[in-house]
A and B are shown apart, each in its own frame.
Chain A
């Protein structure tokens, strides 16, 4: 079995990403995430399976999708909808749609295929000190895939960066650690109860994994989604700063202020958008959070 090439469900391979690690990077989004954060901006990457999304705004009601569907999963109503139960995500409807109203989230790709795609931008990595970033979803759910991809990148002189929520088996991190140049490690909430409430998972394994990577001397940039009423309390920030300082190594944290850009994708997947009531933070609120980190002695940058 060792010779079999690893596969993963890839939602998107996005070139010219300049906010996910050093230089100009290509971000590979893998599908499937163990957490269910209220504020998630990429709901298409929650479910590990391929899904069909539908954007009502773009639909012209031509009906070509319904005619193409062999499973009766296109339900004509006031506009056409995808019945996620009957849908096999075969993509026939997507291929028929002229207006990009239907979109297929995810396709199975081998690590080799993804590497070939990533390698095309080597010119830009070389010019900028960039490389590949795997994101998601949770890439640590596919450690062999990431390992193969990163190993090939390394051979080709392409830098490697993994974004993780930290909720992963220790073995997964151990596997990718030797081939990863930088971890973008997300931290949300320090209080275990609140963490469970807002993300659906325990934060103990996450903090353990962070400690593990720090002990191994990994390069880490911590990242915190700054979500009003969820993660931005002064107490939470101070506790998180304390945790980061306890790791030693002078790690920094990057704040990712909440935005609502993911909302249309919830609608496309017919999912409830629980962050509907949240409003983006003001500059002053963001600055306050940053200053609290700085006050605690943790280097802090705000993502732009």
Chain B
């Protein structure tokens, strides 16, 4: 049933401002420097030494318990919800036990190092020593280190070489163990409480023993779950004690009452089922906090379909007379808290992701199992609060479908205008749900899909191993570079196959065939190495808390998610830079084989010279003027379709038994900059090492000259929705001409048209070029300017100059 919407409530929401607590938090957050704490490693090292000789599953559980029992905690005066991984407003812990020796900066005696893209941290000598001790203890036997050793035994230095040439993603660096697994099972957590989980674990242990089960790993798993779940409950009670102690000292009556309410809440949840919005949000915070303390590199605090599972608490709070302002204040607190969760990125991750905060997602609206759209007043409140908070995170997705109501779409577009940064983005139920169903996921499960990471669609009930095995993505433009150089990569190494010197090729088809051979070789080899990594993961790492709270099936299976189960594991892959490759092929076909205005030899020489000299410039112009995708030119668009379909067929042909085959999602973060570092000059006119195209369906920068409807017509003609779950299309619109209500409605119509035509994703940057140029020149004046890049928002002034240029030059359309 379509919801009966309380339009009066929507009007009240439109009038809401941030609460005083929210504003105080925001000021404190903006004033706070980035800090990295050594506190966690103090306890990881201690626990690891004390548990020597015990089973890995139990050791990992005790490690987390030791951290939760001892780590320093604090309550800030503006906290609605409590719980942070450090006592600071912005701060994070490190993850040497998970990632190994992953922060080169700690070996510098200055104690100063880059924690992330633009944040340097300064650590005391004493803290530095703690981190080094952890690095020494965990580094050599960490999951990533052991995986690289295994790969080396199989293929020598190839895996590292392929990463150096940016052909494959170096995601193993950061041991991101799958995006969807970092989305916890909120419905169950709120319904049964952690005590409910503990009870179930104990029952399963008893039943398994009674039945004479022989797999001790199952017993260890359930035991490890009990240890960590109880530790989370105890951690919450430490906050309750602290709040009571602070209340006793508090002079201000209102704050005293507030602290006592916090204490009461923290004694009740997460142990018990939530009864109110406050309990629900507080329970969620403790679970996410524990997840981050189990693996601090995985700081994504995903909401999933929060407007759905929180709706009953929202309604009953309102019915009980809780003021809307108070609900909004609590919700804004948690949105802000999760949106500003930092981490220390591994070196390559800094470049490939360009992020400082964790990417957390909230997915609004969308179809329910009854086939009706589920947008509600809470969806509306979410949109309203993110536009007030003006943060780069969370990534907010709206699940578009033909039944998405007009009021929701208009609020979504107005939120885009208010944030100037593609919040929310739009993803298409009517492409994504059928894709899951086609891949064998039952409709009732498929309909619960959420976008994670940047826009990656996944099923919350299943373990997504996207990236967990160092697979995640590969670079088709890098493959084209290999093809044009007989398998030699940008660093001069024979990373690819010897598919022949293109100067000898007699036809375009010969060249294209060589490309497909490179593709298959690289793709299948990476998948194979990914399979090896999968085994290493289980051997050297367990994540009991994430397993029990993230994947409901792990309870029944008695199995840690680091050991994927064929029924529940899903594997994703992103084949990137299709547009760069297709436009390059179109240019080669036209200039070398059809019109014969260039020989392959001359073209290759000029590409290798990076279009040097007068002739180089002339050839570059010829390349740039060849037909480009994004202008509704059939010849160019058909090439995109061809590359897309062939790439998908190669990926799908890999037999991943006993696991599900790889599923394709074409998202991209800010990867196009990183990927470009592995690719020489291309026949589409792009110079060596420059960024590739953003997104996955966005036209080449500045080359979409036939207006915004032509871009969408091109995009729809490529048939990406037949082979990929999602394909990212970024469109930039000028804000200066979006002032009227009428133009909001027209952008709604534009979005509806693309989605109803079969587009899987679209997002908007609403900016004018002058603003961006000025922001680049005067970053101090634009601290809150947000832009979208390939699926997530970032603070513009924090991006590298190359990415800033990219955003500036992306074609600007006036609405």
Contact: A304 with B749, CB < 8 Å?
no
Cβ-defined partner of B750 (8 Å) among A19, A120, A128, A129: A128
B756 (CB) vs chain A CBs: closest residue: A127
- Out of A14, A24, A98, A99, name the residue touching B749 (CB < 8 Å): A24
How many whole Å from B35's CB to the nearest CB in chain A?
46
Contact between chains at A127 and B707 (CB < 8 Å) = no
Chain A positions 85 through 123: 1 when the CB is less than 8 Å from some CB of chain B, otherwise 0: 000000000000011000000000000000000001101
Within 8 A of A (CB), among B750-773: 750, 752-753, 756-757
Partner of A123, one of B625, B737, B745, B753: B753
- Of the listed stretches B374-382, B422-430, B440-448, B708-716, chain A binds B708-716
Q: Which of B621, B707, B757 is A16 in contact with, Cβ under 8 Å?
A: B707
CA distance A99 to B618 in the complex (A): 10
Q: Which one of B618, B706, B737, B746 lies within 8 Å of A24 (CB-CB)?
A: B746
Assuming the contacts A16-B709, A99-B621, asked whether A123 and B757 have C-beta atoms less than 8 A apart, the reply is yes
B815 interface residue per 8 A CB criterion = yes
Say yes or no: A304 contacts B740, CB within 8 Å.
Answer: yes
Cβ of A262 within 8 Å of any chain B Cβ, yes or no, is: no
Contact with B along A14-29 (1 / 0, CB 8 A): 1110110001101000
> Shortest beta-carbon distance, A125 to chain B, in Å?
9
| Chain B CB within 8 A of A208 CB | no
> By the criterion CB–CB under 8 Å, are B753 and A124 in contact?
yes
Quick check: B750 and A124 within 8 Å, CB to CB?
yes
A127-B749 contact given A98-B618, A98-B625, A304-B743, CB 8 Å threshold: yes
Contacts of B708 in A (CB 8 A): 15-16
Asked if B253 CB lies within 8 Å of chain A CBs, one says no
Q: Which of A2-23 contact B (CB under 8 A)?
A: 14-16, 18-19, 23
Q: How far is the CB of A232 from chain B (nearest CB, A)?
A: 21
Within 8 Å by CB of B752, from A18, A121, A127, lies A127
A301 to chain B, nearest CB (A): 9
Q: Could you say which of B624, B712, B742, B753 has the most chain A C-beta atoms within 10 Å of its C-beta?
A: B753
Given contacts A23-B749, A123-B757, contact A15 B706 (CB under 8 A): yes
Which residues does chain A contribute within 8 Å of B153, judged by CB atoms?
none
Decide if B632 touches A128 in the complex (CB within 8 Å): no
CB distance from A119 to the nearest CB of B (A): 11
Does the CB pair A123–B756 fall under 8 Å? yes
A295 within 8 A of B: no
Report the Cα distance A24→B750, complex, angstroms: 8
Provide the residues of chain B in CB contact with A123, threshold 8 Å: 713, 753, 756-757
Complex Cα distance A144/B752, Å? 35
A280 to chain B, nearest CB (A): 13
Judge whether A126 is part of the interface by a CB distance below 8 angstroms. yes
Quick one: closest B residue to A121, CB to CB?
B709
Say whether B813 faces chain A, with CB atoms less than 8 Å apart: yes
Interchain CB contact under 8 A, B709 and A124: yes
A24 touches B739 (CB 8 A): no
Residues of B within 8 A of A19 (CB): 737
Nearest-neighbor residue (CB-CB) of B706 within chain A:
A15
Given A15-B707, A16-B708, A18-B746, CB of A127 within 8 Å of CB of B618: no
Q: Determine the distance from Cα of A14 to Cα of B710 in the docked complex, in whole angstroms.
A: 10
Bound: A26/B709 CA distance, A: 10
Nearest neighbor of A129 in chain B, beta-carbon distance: B749
* Chain A residues in 8 Å Cβ range of B632: 120
- Residue among A16, A19, A99, A124 facing the most chain B CB atoms (10 A cut-off): A16
Cβ distance A107 to chain B, nearest Cβ, rounded Å: 15
Asked if A120 contacts B713 (CB within 8 A), the reply is yes
For B757, the chain A residues whose CB sits under 8 A away are: 123
The minimal Cβ–Cβ distance linking B713 to chain A, given in whole angstroms, is 6
The residue in chain B whose Cβ has the minimal distance to the Cβ of A26 is B709
Contact A304 B739 (CB under 8 A): yes
CA distance A128 to B708 in the complex (A): 15
Residues of A within 8 A of B625 (CB): 98
A127 to B750, CA, bound (A): 7
Tell me, in angstroms, the Cα distance from A18 to B753 when the chains sit together: 15
Give residues of chain B (127-163) contacting chain A, Cβ–Cβ below 8 Å: none
Asked if residues B743 and A15 are in contact (CB atoms below 8 Å), the reply is: no
Which of B710, B752, B756 sits near A15, CB closer than 8 Å?
B710
Smallest CB-CB separation from A124: which chain B residue? B753
Give the complex CA separation of A129 and B757 in angstroms. Answer: 16
- Nearest to A95 among chain B residues (CB) is B625
Instruction: State the CA gap A120–B716 with chains docked (Å).
Output: 12
Alpha-carbon distance A129/B743, docked complex (angstroms): 13
Contact B753 A127 (CB under 8 A): yes
- Whether A126 and B739, one on each chain, are in contact in the complex, defined by CB atoms closer than 8 angstroms, is no
Asked whether A18 and B743 contact (CB < 8 A) given A124-B753, A127-B749, A128-B753, the answer is yes
Q: Mark B729-749, 1 if CB is under 8 A from A, else 0.
A: 000000001011011011001
**Contact at B746–A23, with CB atoms within 8 Å?**
yes
Q: In whole angstroms, how far apart are the Cα atoms of A123 and B622 in the complex?
A: 33
Residue of A nearest to B815 (CB): A18
B431 to chain A, nearest CB (A): 16
Alpha-carbon distance between A166 and B621 when the two chains are bound, in angstroms: 44
Closest Cβ of chain B to A73, distance in Å, is 23
User: Across the interface, do A128 and B709 meet the contact criterion of CB distance under 8 Å?
Assistant: no
Give Cα A117–Cα B737 distance, bound, in whole angstroms: 25
Chain B residues near A26 (CB, 8 Å)?
709
CB A39 to nearest CB in B, in angstroms, measures 20
A19 to B756, CA, bound (A): 24
A142–chain B nearest beta-carbon distance, Å: 23
Closest partner residue, chain B, to A60 (CB atom): B617
B737's partner among A120, A127, A304 (CB-CB below 8 A) is A304
Q: Which chain A residues lie closer than 8 Å to B622 at the CB level? A: 98
Nearest chain A CB to B291 CB, angstrom units: 42
Nearest A residue to B739, CB-CB: A304
A124 with B706: CB separation less than 8 A:
no
A120 to B813, CA, bound (A): 19
Bitwise interface map of B from 305 to 336 toward A, beta carbon under 8 Å scored 1, else 0: 00000000000000000000000000000000
Closest CB of chain B to A213's CB: distance in Å?
24
Most chain A CB within 10 A, of B707, B743, B746, is at B746
CB within 8 Å of B: which A268-304 residues: 304
Q: Nearest chain-B residue to A120 (Cβ)?
A: B713
Given the known inter-chain contacts A124-B709, A304-B740, please indicate yes or no for A16 contacting B753, CB distance below 8 A.
Answer: no
- How far, in Å, is B809 (CB) from chain A's closest CB? 15
Contacts of A14 in B (CB 8 A): 707
Q: Contact flags (1/0) for A24-41 with B, using CB distance below 8 Å?
A: 101000000000000000
Residues on the B chain within 8 Å of A98, using CB: 618, 621-622, 624-625
B680 to chain A, nearest CB (A): 22
CB distance from B302 to the nearest CB of A (A): 32
Contacts of B709 in A (CB 8 A): 15-16, 24, 26, 120-121, 124
The CA of A121 and the CA of B743, in the complex, are separated in Å by: 18
Nearest-CB residue, chain A, relative to B708 = A16
Q: Which of B621, B737, B753, B815 contacts A126 (CB 8 A)?
A: B753
A23 to B746, CA, bound (A): 6
**In the docked arrangement, what's the CA distance between A95 and B50, Å?**
77
Cβ–Cβ < 8 Å partners of B739 in chain A: 304
Residues on B with beta carbons closer than 8 Å to the beta carbon of A130:
749
Partner of B746, one of A15, A99, A128: A128
In the complex, what's the smallest C-beta–C-beta distance from A173 to chain B, in angstroms? 28
Q: Write the nearest CB–CB distance from B405 to chain A, whole angstroms.
A: 15
| A235-249 at interface with B (beta carbon < 8 Å) | none
Given contacts A98-B621, A121-B709, 17 further A-B contacts (CB under 8 A): A15-B709, A15-B710, A16-B707, A16-B750, A23-B749, A24-B709, A24-B749, A24-B753, A26-B709, A98-B618, A98-B625, A120-B713, A121-B713, A123-B756, A128-B749, A130-B749, A304-B743
Jot down 19 A-B pairs with beta carbons below 8 A, ordered by A.
A15-B707, A16-B707, A16-B750, A18-B815, A24-B746, A24-B749, A24-B753, A26-B709, A98-B618, A120-B632, A123-B753, A126-B753, A127-B749, A127-B750, A127-B752, A127-B753, A127-B756, A129-B749, A130-B749
* Interchain residue pairs A-B with the least CB separation, the first 7: A128-B749, A98-B621, A127-B753, A15-B709, A15-B707, A127-B749, A18-B746
